[in-house]
Chains A and B, each alone.
Chain A
Amino acid sequence: MSAEEKALVDRCRQGEDDAWRLFVDQFGQKVYSVAYHFTLNREDAEELSQEIFLKTFENLHRYDGTFPLVAWLLSLSRNLCIDRYRRRKRERSFRFVSDDAVAPLLKSDDDPAAEALKKERSKILFSVLAEIPEDLAEILVLRDLDGLAYDEIGKALDLPDGTVKSRLFRARAEVARRIRERHERRGSAGAFQALAVAAGGVL
């Protein structure tokens, strides 16, 4: 797989337009998804995606094919995301997630009540992600929202697979615990139970 990806990168380096188009089609959606989950804003996500791909194109010679291209893309763009969005915009946007921000993330549903519930649930999720430690939130987003494999996350963040899984477990538990506590403080434990049932959880 990496050999094929290395060949694709080499063709891009030689200036083949078809190869670069294939590269964009193969990884554009993934990068945009990562960018959107970082920013929760369409314009910012597009801008960030542009920056990530510009950086990628300019640094193609650094890819040696030793690990998956997605992981390399992620590691290359990670500092960019952190520098430009995490410390400033992400925290702010995650604490006050708007309906518009989560709307592109929701699958369409014929039932308006279910649609509203999903929207509310997504907003709570991102709000809690802003509260938990960064290293936990990052793993959860990359795995559960972006759908990256454990080894891709491990290579991108330079972590062993066991550490990735351990952090993921703690991140999920921490997020769920905080959601429950938030609802209990408001005296709406029943709402959380309904949320859990709707999500298919076991409570």
Chain B
Amino acid sequence: MTCSELERLFASGASSEDARRHRDACATCRATGADADVAEEIAATLRAPEMPSSLRASLIDIPRRTVSCEGAERLLPLAVENELLEDDERRLSSHLSRCGGCSEAAATLLAVRDLAEPIAPPWLAGRLAVARPEKRRRSLGWLFGPKSVIVVAYGAAVVVMLLGFNPADLARRVGSGELGQSTRAAVLVAESSITDRLGALQEKVARTLAVWKGHAGGYGRAAVSNVVSLIWKTSGSKQREVERPRNRDGRGALRERETTTTSWRV
């Protein structure tokens, strides 16, 4: 026979008077309650053991023996650079031996440091020494190449024209003596240079267009020829079909030989 009413009263924080009343009325809870009282009394006679003074001193010294996770965050960057003081190194090491998260972070950071210092293969130094000057020359040389000069000149001419500069107008002004002597000479040189360049450009464009026209003409002629042939083939077949002799049965079916011949003709 079980009754948990006394336990319920105790758990709900009911008054001791309520518990006493139930215990008086219920034999089961009277025995259970008595047992509980005995255990409580036994435990109450025991006291907490006194903390030794040596332990207290040791506990107070803890900040000098380890660091917190926050402290570890501040020390780890220095550890990676091998710039930790001896005491800090010992404190950090003590912390890492107990803290999985910081230990993992430290291992990762140190691994990154190792990655940043790869060991070069013995042949690499010589290869780099040979490759370096050539690379430098190549990197700057393209600026002074003939292609670059042409591109810059064309670019300048286009910019000048876009800005509204008319070489013919300049030539007219030169002819009418509106400019000074030295300016005129410089303008003449520039005019001839620009004219030459523009002329060359114009000529090149014309040549390119002619080539493309030729290609287009060639392709066009070929296309027209194909179309004409196709039309001719189709209309020719029909014509022959009309002109061909009828079979004896009068239904107009072609003989095998005749069909083949017609195809070959086309």
Interface set of A (CB-CB < 8 Å, partner B) = 13, 15, 17, 20-21, 24-25, 28-30, 32-33, 36, 42, 45-46, 49-50, 53-55, 57-61, 102, 104-107, 118, 121-122, 125, 140, 144-147, 161-163, 165-166, 168-173, 175-177, 179-180, 195-196, 199-203
Apart from A15-B63, A170-B7, A177-B32, 13 more pairs, CB < 8 Å: A13-B68, A28-B55, A32-B51, A33-B51, A36-B48, A53-B62, A61-B70, A107-B45, A107-B47, A144-B43, A166-B7, A176-B38, A195-B42
Specify the chain A residue showing the minimal Cβ separation from B38.
A201
Write out the residue numbers on chain A whose beta carbons fall within 8 Å of the beta carbon of B40. Answer: 144, 172
Write out the residue numbers on chain A whose beta carbons fall within 8 Å of the beta carbon of B58. Answer: 50
Most interface-central of B12, B43, B44 (chain A CB within 10 A): B43
Write out the residue numbers on chain B whose beta carbons fall within 8 Å of the beta carbon of A173. Answer: 7, 32-33, 35-36, 39
Are B52 and A46 neighbours in the complex by a CB distance under 8 Å? yes
Once bound together, how far apart are the Cα atoms of A200 and B39, in whole Å? 10
Given contacts A140-B43, A146-B48, whether A57 and B60 have CB atoms under 8 Å apart is no
Once bound together, how far apart are the Cα atoms of A168 and B43, in whole Å? 12
Write out the residue numbers on chain A whose beta carbons fall within 8 Å of the beta carbon of B67. Answer: 58
Choose one: B7, B45, B49, B99; the contact of A169 (CB below 8 Å): B7
Write out the residue numbers on chain B whose beta carbons fall within 8 Å of the beta carbon of A28. Answer: 51, 55-56, 59
Size band of the B side of the interface? 35 or more
Write out the residue numbers on chain A whose beta carbons fall within 8 Å of the beta carbon of B52. Answer: 42, 46
Shortest distance between the CB of B8 and any CB in chain A (Å): 8
Report 27 cross-chain contacts, Cβ distance below 8 Å, ordered by A residue.
A20-B63, A28-B59, A32-B48, A36-B49, A54-B65, A55-B98, A58-B95, A59-B68, A102-B46, A105-B47, A105-B48, A106-B47, A118-B45, A122-B45, A144-B39, A145-B48, A162-B12, A163-B11, A165-B11, A166-B8, A166-B10, A169-B36, A172-B36, A173-B7, A177-B35, A179-B38, A201-B37
